[in-house]
Amino acid sequence: MRANGASRDWRQKLDLAQEVESQSINSPLDQTQWTLHGRRNRIFVLVSGNGEIATGTDTQPIHAPILVWVPSGQPARLTLFAGSRGAWLAISDAALGQIALPGNIAEDVRHLALRPQLASPISREVGTRLSTLIATMEGELRDNLPGAQEMVRHQLAIVCILVWRSSDMVSAAPQPTPRNVVNNFLHLVDQQMRQHWSVADYARYLGVSAGRLTSAVQRATGQTPQRLIHSRLMAEARQMLENSGMQIAEVSLSLGFEDTAYFSRFFKRLNGKSPREYRKDFARNQIRQSGSFAAWP
C-alpha cells in the first residue's frame, strides 16, 4: 500500500495535533467554566460531580454520570462545580469526518454531530471508559511518539462508537445490507490487513456475525473473507517486491509479519515461489521485455 496508497486513499490525512484537543478534568477545588464559541465539536464526560450548561437563554443542570455533546457552530457555556471529575474532547469537523467507522454507525454519527446532546445519561462504566480513552489521547498528542497519530485515530473511533451506543439511535439503527457489509469489509481490509485481524475481528467491528460476513462476501466475490484478506496481502507484497528496493525482511515487517521465514513460507504457499525467487523472475522478465522492445524497428 505504500507505493499507491495515495490513489486508494483520496482523503489526505490530517495532522490530529492541530485538529484534536483533549484533557482530563481531575476534581478541581473550585468551580470551572468553559465558554464554547462553536469552532469545534465538544464532548464532555462527567464521571462524578455536577454542573450546568447554558445555550442561549436556556440553562440546564447536569449530574454525573453524563455525556454532553456540543456540535460545532453551537455556542454554549459549561460550568462544573467543585469536585467534578471527567474529561473533555474537542475535534474539528474535518477530523470527525475522517474517523473510520462502519457504514451504519458512520451515518448515525453524522446525524448526531448535527444536534446537541446536552445531558445524555450514561452508565458509570461507559463514563470511565470514555474518560480513560480521552486521557490516553491527551498523552499521545502531548508526547507525539511514533505511531501517535494512528493511536489517536483508533481511540477516536472507539469514542464515537461509545457515544453512538449511548444515543437514542442504536435501537433504530437498521442492519447493514449485504452490499454495505461487503463494501465496508473491503475498505476495512485495506486499513487493517497489516494488523492480521481474524475474520471474527472484522465481523465484530462491522457489527455483524462472522457467518453473515462470510455469506455476504462469498456471494459477492466468490471467495471467503480469509482468502480475500490473504489475496490483498499478497498483492501488496508482490507490488513491493516488484517496485521497491526493500529487503525481504523489510517487506515482511511492513506487512505485519515479524518472522521473515514465516512470511516467505506464506508467500510461497500462495504464489508458488518464494519472495526471492519471485523478485528474480520478475527482474528477468523485465529485462527480456526491455530487450525485445529495443529490437523493434
Asked if residue 10 has pLDDT above 60, the reply is no
Quick one: CA torsion of 227, 218, 198, 232, rounded to 10 degrees? 40
Check residue 170 and give its pLDDT.
61
Residue 284 sits in a domain of what CATH number?
1.10.10.60
The amino acid at 30: D
Quick check: is 233 in a domain?
Answer: no
Quick check: is 229 in a domain?
Answer: no
Quick check: is 201 in a domain?
Answer: yes
| One domain for residues 161 and 73 | yes
Quick check: is 2 in a domain?
Answer: no
Q: How many helices (H) and strands (E) does the chain have?
A: 13, 9
Check residue 2 and give its pLDDT.
35
Q: In the chain, how many domains are there?
A: 3
| One domain for residues 27 and 146 | yes
Asked if residue 202 has pLDDT above 60, the reply is yes
Check residue 265 and give its pLDDT.
95
Check residue 100 and give its pLDDT.
82
Write out pLDDT tens, residues 97-140: 888 887 678 878 878 778 777 778 888 889 999 999 999 999 99
Check residue 220 and give its pLDDT.
93
210-221 and 225-243 are packed helices; what angle lies between their axes, rounded to 10 degrees?
60
Asked if residue 204 has pLDDT above 70, the reply is yes
- The partner residues of 91 in beta bridges, in order of sequence, read 20, 41
Residue 48 sits in a domain of what CATH number?
2.60.120.280
Check residue 135 and give its pLDDT.
92
Check residue 222 and give its pLDDT.
93
The residue from 133, 165, 197 where one domain ends is 165
Q: Are 87 and 49 in contact (CB under 8 A)?
A: no
Quick check: is 12 in a domain?
Answer: no
Mean pLDDT (whole number) for 249-277: 94
Asked if residue 57 has pLDDT above 90, the reply is no
**Site of grid cell 454532553:** 68
Instruction: Print the domain residue range for 161.
Output: 18-165
Q: Which DSSP category does 290 fall into?
A: H
Check residue 292 and give its pLDDT.
54
**Site of grid cell 510461497:** 268
| One domain for residues 156 and 280 | no
Quick check: is 1 in a domain?
Answer: no
- d(Cα 65, Cα 123) in Å, to the nearest integer? 6
| One domain for residues 41 and 86 | yes
| One domain for residues 152 and 198 | no
Burial (CB count within 10 angstroms: exposed 0-12, middle 13-18, buried 19+), residue 56: exposed
Asked if residue 218 has pLDDT above 90, the reply is yes
| One domain for residues 55 and 76 | yes
Residue 15: how many other CB atoms lie within 10 Å: 10
Q: Which residue has the higher pLDDT, 3 or 217?
A: 217
Secondary-structure percent of the chain, ordered helix, strand, coil, rounded to 5:
55, 20, 30
Mean pLDDT (whole number) for 145-167: 89
Q: Are 237 and 282 in contact (CB under 8 A)?
A: no
pLDDT above 90 covers a percentage of the chain that reads: 40
Write out pLDDT tens, residues 63-96: 889 998 888 888 888 898 888 989 999 999 888 8
| One domain for residues 280 and 159 | no
Quick check: is 84 in a domain?
Answer: yes
Quick check: is 4 in a domain?
Answer: no
Check residue 291 and give its pLDDT.
62
| One domain for residues 29 and 161 | yes
Type and span of the H or E element at 59 = strand 58-63
| One domain for residues 136 and 270 | no
pLDDT above 70 covers a percentage of the chain that reads: 90
| One domain for residues 218 and 264 | no
| One domain for residues 186 and 265 | no
| One domain for residues 198 and 95 | no
